[in-house]
Amino acid sequence: MRRLGIDIGGTKTLCVVVDDSVDGGSVVDERQVPTDPTGDAAAAIVDLARTFGEIDSVGVGIAGLVSRDGDVVVTTHLPGVRELPLRERVASQMGLPVVVDNDATCAAVAEWRIGAARGVDDALMVTLGTGIGGGAIVGGRVARGHNGFAGEFGHMVVARGGEPCPCGRRGCWEGYASGGGLARLAGGVASETVVERFLDGDSRATEIVTSFADWVVVGLHNLVNIYDPAYIVLGGGLGSRPEIVELVSTRFAEGEGGHVGRALPSLVAALLGQRAGAIGAAFIGAGD
């Protein structure tokens, strides 16, 4: 079966076709196009899908709150997309099974099916980028929650009364453990610059990145208590950096008082990179 997966980003949209009859799932076609932030999202998806020839299902991943019905309630990078019944509109034109889900949830599914968490029934995906996204596999099933909004790990509060967050709360994890959080810890210096200085051995940058890693660990330990996963997969622009993964892993293992009576999960780097969202969307379009 040929499953189309589409990952809609702020500047680019990645599409892959997954043949799920080959070794559990193999990418057989792929292309990338610019995202039009002001266009008709449903029409754009339909037009893209029709360029891939015969396909059996369509899965779409998008950053933001996506309901169980495939309605995009709100998204951070497409200002015109609000309360949009995206799944319904695409399905009505395609005549195929269509699923729309959060992009980090899609990435979690990809890493679970054919990536770093393959072979386990309980795993988390944490994407450390501009913000923090996440997805959870619990008992071999995708955890979506009552409304479909599960996995918004970045908005758990880790510092009561802390930094204001665009979500309206204060002290959210992503205010400290994302690219934006790293830049704030560095006094406004871009996170990429801080990381490069860290890799060059700059002592101040090392201090900042270590503090950042400790904030990452605070949230990871909270997630361990909630989910008890076998694996936690780190991805995203920051989470995919081997040096960051190594530092976070070291601080994670040291912990803050540890977890009495339990072993820590394996903390691993994502294997599928920027393709994870699109690959996972293809699997979700097929029913996970």
- Residue 76, domain CATH: 3.30.420.40
Note whether 133 and 43 are same-domain residues.
no
Helical H runs in 1-152?
41-49, 86-94, 103-114
Note whether 53 and 151 are same-domain residues.
no
Neighbours of 50 (CB within 10 A): 11
Note whether 126 and 81 are same-domain residues.
no
Note whether 219 and 166 are same-domain residues.
yes
Question: Which amino acid, residue 61?
Answer: G
Grade residue 5 by pLDDT with cuts at 50, 70 and 90. very high
User: Strands of 82-84's sheet, edge to edge?
Assistant: 65-66, 72-74, 82-84
Domain count of the fold of the chain? 2
Note whether 84 and 147 are same-domain residues.
no
Note whether 102 and 134 are same-domain residues.
no
Note whether 124 and 229 are same-domain residues.
yes
Neighbours of 169 (CB within 10 A): 15
pLDDT of residue 256: 57
Residue 112 lies in a domain: no
Q: How much of the chain exceeds pLDDT 70, in percent?
A: 97
Note whether 91 and 178 are same-domain residues.
no
Note whether 14 and 65 are same-domain residues.
yes
Residue 195 lies in a domain: yes
- Residue (of 137, 134, 136, 138) closest to 155 by Cα position: 134
Note whether 163 and 222 are same-domain residues.
yes
Taking only the tens place, the pLDDT of each residue in 179-191 is 999 999 999 999 9
Note whether 230 and 160 are same-domain residues.
yes
Structural domain of 190: 118-270
Note whether 99 and 129 are same-domain residues.
no
Taking only the tens place, the pLDDT of each residue in 82-117 is 889 999 999 999 999 999 999 999 999 999 999 999
Residue 64 lies in a domain: yes
Q: Is the pTM of this model over 0.75?
A: yes
Residue 113 lies in a domain: no
Taking only the tens place, the pLDDT of each residue in 34-70 is 988 888 889 999 999 999 999 999 999 998 899 999 9
pLDDT beyond 90 at 6: yes
Taking only the tens place, the pLDDT of each residue in 263-285 is 889 999 999 998 999 999 999 98
